[in-house]
Amino acid sequence: MRQMNIKALNKTTKSNIVTYGIVILAYLIMEILMRAGVVSSLLQGLLVPLCTYVILAVSLNLTVGISGELSLGHAGFMCVGAFSSAFFSKCMQEVIPVSGIRFFLAILIGAAFAALFGVVVGIPVLRLRGDYLAIVTLAFGEIIKNVVNVIFLGKDSRGFHISMKDAFSMGLEPEGEVIINGPQGITGTPNDSNFLVGIILILITLFIVINLVNSRTGRAIMAIRDNRIAAESVGIHITKYKLLAFTISASLAGVAGVLYAHNLSTLAAQSKNFGYNMSIMILVFVVLGGIGNIRGSIIAAVVLTLLPELLRSLNDYRMLMYAIVLIATMIFTSSPGGQAFRERYSLKRLIGQRKETKEAE
Amino acid sequence: MMGFISYLVNGISLGSVYAIIALGYTMVYGIAKMLNFAHGDVIMIGGFVVFTTVSGMGLPPVIGILISVVVCTVLGMLIERIAYKPLRKASKLAVLITAIGVSYFLQNVALLIYGSNTKSFTSVVSITPISLADGAIIISGETIVTIVACIIIMIALTAFIKYSKSGRAMLAVSEDSGAAQLMGVNVNATIALTFAIGSALAAIAGVLLCSSYPALTPYTGAMPGIKAFVAAVFGGIGSIPGAFIGGILLGVIEILGKAYISSQLADAIVFAVLIVVLLVKPTGLLGKQIQEKV
Amino acid sequence: MKKALSLLLVCAMTFSLAACGSKESGTTTPAEDNSQTEADAQPEGDAQPEGETEAPAASDGAVFKIGGIGPTTGGAAVYGIAVQRGAQIAVDEINAAGGINGVQIEFNFQDDEHDPEKSVNAYNTLKDWGMQVLVGTVTSNPCIAVVEKTHEDNMFQLTPSGTAVKCVQYDNAFRMCFSDPNQGLESAKYIGENGLATKVAVIYDNSDPYSQGIYDAFRAEAANQNIEIVAETSFNSDNKTDFSTAVQSAKSAGAELLYMPFYYTEASLVLAECSKQSYKPVFFGVDGMDGILSVENFDVTLAEDLMYMAPFVANSDDEQVKSFVTKYQESFNEIPNQFAADAYDCVYVVKAAMEEAGVTADMDASAICDAMVGAMTAISYDGITGKQISWEANGEPNKAPLVVQIKNGETIGL
């Protein structure tokens, strides 16, 4: 029995090392290729967004896969992280000239604010179940986006001014500066994000999530997911563990938001980047990568972000192709027919490894 | 005061459109237990069919609407057959993602066919507006037709489900599809019928929506679709009177919020009310309380 | 199984990355590029004379590579497509007439879905293609993101329609259209000086820097012109179909003039709503209003007497305009709007600046930029969106705004 446990542990450890390894390997390959100068500008420009989406996918997987709650408001936390950190960086641009320190603090601030919102949203939301939980998270995400869109915040010699109406009614002095300009957001955030920071943040995210999953806490969270009543009956504090997972997930999404905000010089909360569209896109990464499968999330986020860019030559047909790929993949992986097809022609059978039994779930 | 009444009428009119869309959502949810995210885009297709037939080919509006209803019904059944039926036994999330895929697909097909230029939709309603209190309140023909259509649809649908054989089959499937099958109900046909009715309602909603707000683009259906989804949850998803009440309330809250609080925060207010309702009544206004089995 | 699958995916990824890398080295032959240009330039298989686009291939191999960025899918696609088409017509004309200093132009337009992040991706795609000059981007927010990159790379950028002040905040960027404050100021002056109204209601889109920028300047000038703003309502990009409350508040405030600093798509809805509520103030718009008559199936009587600022009038008697409009209609079967006109002028301005600067096709983007920035302030250009347009070093054009009015379904200059 004891031996079995060690064996199982070794197996997960091995699998985790492979996950870290893939990320580090991807970084090294890209660095070497970039040094060699064979990487296109498009791909270079995509590196930071790829890191952002990987972090988002992994963090949402914590909520959806590990904790089993369908959240459609993940982009809202990203929005909180992005705006709080961009605001900080914009204000501190002169005070802290060293970009490394400033960005480090910005990440902490983004993560802290997103975590705070995670708690505030999580307490009421986690009382609900299933589709109702999904719609309420969607609602919270939209509220965050809407509220960010009415914040006008400016700074002049007399200090900060805030308005919910428009930039004009803040009554700034002529030399005052509008920092958050309502729906037009923040412009001129310093471009502090880079690939190395992105990779480090991915590794930290993975470290947090993987360790959580393999800890006592993680097992408690999964027990709640699998059978709430049974978990409760053995004395697991449901709200505490659910809220813990939700908050960590929100805070990691905030980190992704920081990365996003410091990659572009303009930051505005639109439905495309911080609305339900984005939340759904992240969910697509998680589902296609395999619910609860961390490595799958990483790969799906990378592939699905690259796909529309690689399909650019198809012009107007590329989003159509994206839609068809999405539907086809879901039917192929989840329908009984598709599963039978995979069973018959799977790589594993062709290679002749042992039979997979877990897939049947 | 006159202003308030006008706003209220506008709100009820908008709410009626939401209600018709929400009825489609709620029926599909009740039977197939899935969130059909593509529903909003079927509305858009319905609008485009009427646009092509009435404004493009010069057919009378009634024929155009009929064609639109037929096209959407067929489309709804096709979507169900191709994209959703293979996934009937799959996880909820898989179906959700497929529905999102279908939604993207419909939007992009419309974009390729019609281009992105906004089409100005000619209203199919030719009733002269009613002017009350010396013109301080004007109720447009579209408003009247929308409200009346919504009430008729709601009554007809309730009667259909209560008294017709297929309607009762729907109830049975939504209660327990396995047991219904054992009792001789053709589950597949019932689900297909639900999609057909839902899509036909979407076509009508599309026509009414575009008559009131005459701008038609491939993305016209997305936001009303989400709002109607909220309305359905608001009233208790799966419940037909719930969808009706949810839709009307949502429309009224949205318009009054816009008028008296902030036009920017109108959506936030709608969502905030939804959250409060769900926290007090976790299954919506008229939703059924589900007992948890041990 | 999962391991095998993930291994396969990693292989696929590495392969796709390698494909990205090799793409750069593989796209230098002109013939291949040309086929790409052709594909990019002709969405939806529009009837475009084939011979003209193929012209570059016949040249001695040296070409100028001009890139364009704008939304051709998504909610703002109408503007991007207009720019793409307008620019394509100018490129075809120039190539047919022998090119710039005898060198042909290749034009490649990339979609950005009106999203800053996608816009930067599009810019990088064009850089991989070997772009030397950028005509774009079409919409303001993405433009602000891209101008940061062009500034880093020292790439010459001329935006046809990025109106926000920050779009041209760097030396390498210029614009073809009016800036937002300029239009707001001019329209307030026009209303005040012609005594059109003293009580004005405003509806504006506060998620659009364009609309917000114009309105801010309008409001600042209104006080000087003895104009009272009695009602103001804002909407945003997620919430722009229901204008019943906005119109109603303008009506109940007794406004004599409704100022509409936004695009014609929303304006058509506002006008329809006003007619529904039997509200008939003076309607005054800005250059975004251009195109309202070409909204498919729009009831033009709703727009009767509408006044707006316009740099471009499609039915003008000007020879250049006539020729452009005819070609555009032949190719795309619709009347061009101001975006198409601005883009058309942009390509010609690039040509004029290139000729002035004497750049050659073998120069790199940065050298071309340095030469062209100097040339931009020296040229004076006669185009379809204005005559004798010159540029300040800050990137702003000097051109006279024109007010037009719609009468009997036609636009006439005032």
Q: Are residues C304 and C213 in the same domain?
A: yes
Spell out the domain ranges in chain A: 1-39, 49-278
Q: Are residues C356 and C284 in the same domain?
A: no
> In this structure, is residue C99 part of a structural domain?
yes
Domain end among C290, C310, C330:
C310
- Cα angle A214, A220, A221 (rounded to 5 degrees) comes to 85
Q: What ranges make up the beta strands (E) of chain A? A: 152-156, 159-163, 177-181, 186-187, 266-267
Q: Are residues C282 and C234 in the same domain?
A: yes
> In this structure, is residue C19 part of a structural domain?
no
Contact B267 A320 (CB under 8 A): no
**Confidence (pLDDT) at A5:** 55
Q: What ranges make up the beta strands (E) of C206-252? A: 228-235
In the predicted model, is pLDDT for residue B44 greater than 90? yes
Question: How does DSSP classify residue A355?
Answer: P
Question: How does DSSP classify residue B221?
Answer: T
Q: Does C206 touch chain A (CB under 8 A)?
A: yes
Q: Are residues C80 and C170 in the same domain?
A: yes
Tell me how far apart the alpha carbons of residues B100 and B107 are, in angstroms, rounded to a whole number: 11
Q: Does C240 touch chain A (CB under 8 A)?
A: no
Contact A270 C237 (CB under 8 A): yes
Asked, as a colleague might, if the bond just before C301 is cis with ω within 30 of 0, I would say no
The residue behind tokens 């929005």 is A79
In the predicted model, is pLDDT for residue C292 greater than 60? yes
Q: Are residues C86 and C160 in the same domain?
A: yes
Tell me the pLDDT band of C352, cut-offs 50, 70 and 90. very high
Nearest by Cα to C406 from C310, C280, C273 = C310
Chain C residues 303-362 within an 8 A CB cutoff of chain A: none
Strands laid side by side in the C397-398 sheet: C381-383, C386-391, C397-398
**Confidence (pLDDT) at A348:** 57
Interface test mutation site (partner A, options B78, B104, B109, max chain A beta carbons within 10 A): B104
**Secondary structure in 3-state letters for B56-78:** HCCCCHHHHHHHHHHHHHHHHHH
Domain of C244?
A: 181-310
Tell me the pLDDT band of C59, cut-offs 50, 70 and 90. very low
C-chain residue closest to A307, CA distance: C16
Tell me how far apart the alpha carbons of residues B77 and A355 are, in angstroms, rounded to a whole number: 38
Neighbours of chain A (3+ CB pairs under 8 A): B, C
User: Is the dihedral angle over the CA atoms C212, C216, C222, C227 positive or is it negative?
Assistant: positive
> In this structure, is residue C41 part of a structural domain?
no
At residue C244, the 3 state secondary structure works out as helix
**Confidence (pLDDT) at A170:** 76
**Confidence (pLDDT) at C39:** 38
Nearest by Cα to C385 from C310, C309, C329 = C310
Residue-wise pLDDT tens digits, C141-170: 889 899 989 999 999 999 998 888 888 889
Q: Are residues C168 and C186 in the same domain?
A: no
> A-chain residues within 8 Å CB-CB of B102?
323, 327
The count of C-alpha atoms lying within 13 angstroms of the C-alpha of C338, restricted to the half-sphere facing its C-beta, is 25
> In this structure, is residue C274 part of a structural domain?
yes
Neighbours of chain C (3+ CB pairs under 8 A): A, B
Residue-wise pLDDT tens digits, C97-144: 988 988 999 999 998 888 888 999 999 999 999 999 999 889 888 898
**Confidence (pLDDT) at A351:** 58
Element (H, E) at C405: strand C403-407
What pTM does this model have?
A: 0.85
Residue C295 has its nearest CB partner, among B118, B223, B258, at: B118
Across the range B89-113, mean pLDDT stands at 89
Residue A39 has its nearest CB partner, among C21, C43, C44, at: C21
List per-block mean pLDDT (blocks of 10 residues) for chain A, which spans 361 residues: 55 85 92 88 90 95 91 94 94 85 94 96 86 87 90 84 78 80 84 91 94 91 90 90 95 96 88 86 89 91 88 77 88 79 65 47 41
> A-chain residues within 8 Å CB-CB of C25?
38
Residue C254: CATH number of its domain:
3.40.50.2300
Q: Are residues C217 and C157 in the same domain?
A: no
Tell me the pLDDT band of B290, cut-offs 50, 70 and 90. low
Min Cα–Cα distance to chain A from B15, Å: 18
> In this structure, is residue C284 part of a structural domain?
yes
Neighbours of chain B (3+ CB pairs under 8 A): A, C
DSSP A44-106: HHHHHHHHHHHHHHHHHHIIIIIS----S-HHHHHHHHHHHHHHHHHHHTTT---HHHHHHHH
Q: Are residues C270 and C328 in the same domain?
A: no
In the predicted model, is pLDDT for residue C393 greater than 90? no
For residue C115, count other CB atoms closer than 10 A to its CB.
Answer: 22
Strands C307-309 and C282-285: parallel
Contact A149 C236 (CB under 8 A): yes
Tell me how far apart the alpha carbons of residues C133 and C165 are, in angstroms, rounded to a whole number: 21
Q: Are residues C100 and C151 in the same domain?
A: yes
CA distances to A146, A182, A183, B263, C218 from A164, in Å? 11, 8, 11, 12, 20
Q: Are residues C259 and C304 in the same domain?
A: yes
Longest dimension (CA), chain C: 78
Nearest by Cα to A241 from A112, A62, A74 = A62
Mean confidence (pLDDT) of chain B: 87
For residue A130, count other CB atoms closer than 10 A to its CB.
Answer: 13
Contact B71, B46 (CB under 8 A): yes
**Confidence (pLDDT) at B178:** 87
Q: Does C130 touch chain A (CB under 8 A)?
A: no
Spell out the domain ranges in chain B: 2-280
Chain C residues 215-254 within an 8 A CB cutoff of chain B: 233-236, 238-239, 241-242, 244-246, 248-249, 252
Contact A323 B108 (CB under 8 A): yes
**Confidence (pLDDT) at C4:** 47
In the predicted model, is pLDDT for residue C282 greater than 70? yes
In the predicted model, is pLDDT for residue B55 greater than 80? yes
Q: Are residues C160 and C210 in the same domain?
A: no
Residue-wise pLDDT tens digits, B111-165: 889 877 778 888 887 777 787 767 677 788 888 899 999 999 999 999 999 899 9
Q: Are residues C225 and C248 in the same domain?
A: yes
Across the range B200-211, mean pLDDT stands at 92
Chain C residues 27-86 within an 8 A CB cutoff of chain A: 36, 39-40, 43-44, 72-74
Nearest by Cα to A305 from A41, A73, A48 = A48
Question: 1.20.1740, 1.10.3210, 1.10.3470, 3.30.450: which CATH number matches B2-280?
Answer: 1.10.3470
Number of folded domains in chain C?
Answer: 2
The count of C-alpha atoms lying within 13 angstroms of the C-alpha of A167, restricted to the half-sphere facing its C-beta, is 27
> In this structure, is residue C122 part of a structural domain?
yes
- ipTM of the complex, rounded to two decimals: 0.86
**Confidence (pLDDT) at A37:** 83
**Confidence (pLDDT) at B2:** 73
Mean confidence (pLDDT) of chain C: 81
Tell me the pLDDT band of C23, cut-offs 50, 70 and 90. very low
